[in-house]
Amino acid sequence: MDEMRIDIDDEDVDMDSARRITYQGALYTGEAVETHPNGTVIALTSYVDGLEDGLSREWYPDGALLAEGLMRGNRPVGPWRRWHPNGRLAQEQHFDDRGNLLTKRRWAENGEPIEDEHDGGRR
């Protein structure tokens, strides 16, 4: 069976009290997309049993990558990155396997570093 893909704004999509996504009343496994009014996909998220699990990506309406990272059981794991509209890296965060933030770095649109937080302490 092919993996299912739904639009996150579909009227059959809901969220239960445990913050799990359901589709037509059942916990959802597959991909969910969000589209811009111009029709382009601006977000793609993978779910397993209603929980975000797998690669998550967002795009600007022009198609340029906005953000990406990996989720496991509704928790961010590993590196997560965001980009400015000009394509330069805006933020990079690293999470452990439990979703705890380990490091965070941010840059201005011109590439100038503006934040560097490592192991809970700032540099």
Indicate the average pLDDT of the chain: 93
Q: Tell me the mean pLDDT in the region 42-46.
A: 97
* Interval 86-107: pLDDT, tens: 999 999 999 999 999 999 999 9
Query: What token pair was written down for 10?
Result: 């579909």
pLDDT bracket for residue 117 (50, 70, 90) = confident
Going from N- to C-terminal start, the domains of the chain cover 5-122
| pLDDT at site 3 | 66
- Cβ–Cβ < 8 Å for 72, 80: no
DSSP code at position 3: P
Question: Given this model, what pLDDT does residue 47 score?
Answer: 97
123, pLDDT greater than 60:
no
pLDDT band, very low/low/confident/very high, at 78 (cuts 50, 70, 90)? very high
pLDDT for 14 beyond 80: yes
Assign domain 5-122 to its CATH architecture: Single Sheet (2.20)
Residue 4's pLDDT is: 87
Helix, strand, coil percentages (3-state) for the chain, rounded to 5, are 0, 60, 40
